[in-house]
Amino acid sequence: MQIPEFSVQHAQQLNAYLASHDGAMSLVQSKGYLFAVICSPEPLDVHEWLEQIVPNSNGQLEEQVLFAFMALYHQISEQVYETGFKLPVSLQVNGEDDSYLDLHECQQWCQGFVQGAKSYIDKLMQADTLTAELVDALQTAYASLGFFALEPQLITTIAEQNQLSEIQLSLQQFAVMGDFALGFAELIEIIAVQSGLYSDEEESWS
């Protein structure tokens, strides 16, 4: 099957489709979730990740919607393994008004990422073959990529503890997120090999 390039029309189609299904992720959440799935050492079948994005769909999607999802998956996978991954969200900040900060997009992407990554991160963290350095790298990367999924009050507290405004903290974290996203798949590959939990047959890396 020739997978089409993910387009504005695909995005509009998926936005409308997801908005019409109770319990479905938003498109931005889906992007964070698929990023985590694509970086995973445990490959998921299409119907498995679709069921997480659109619960109770039983994989029964219209062909056009399925093609749009496949195009999105292919786009993210290509960025992760070939062209370099760029976060598909932005921080909405008004430089003239320090009281304005919209974390909504980042929050949704991070929520999707955490949902997709939590199971294999927990599994890798329990491997007793990992060096302290790798455990620390994994914890830091996971915490950074999931940062905006934290409760807003906790983000406020962290900012106060570091004597930063929420905007300053958020801008710092957003920059770090971009760095960690770029190398996350490679880090997971290294750690998965080191963990001894995955055989060559199970590897999903490109």
For the full predicted model, state whether its pTM sits above 0.85: yes
Contacts of 189 (CB under 8 A, 6+ apart): 41, 203, 205
Radius of gyration of the chain (CA): 18
pLDDT tops 90 at residue 199:
no
| The pLDDT of residue 197 | 84
Each residue's pLDDT tens digit, 37-86: 999 998 899 999 999 999 987 767 888 999 999 999 999 999 999 999 99
Query: What is the CATH classification number for the domain harbouring 60?
Result: 1.20.120.740
Segment 143-163 shows an average pLDDT of 95
In terms of residues, how long is the chain? 206
- Structural domain total, the chain: 1
The domain containing residue 66 runs over which residues? 1-206
Count Cβ atoms within 10 A of the Cβ of residue 200 and give its class: 0-12 exposed, 13-18 middle, 19 or more buried: exposed
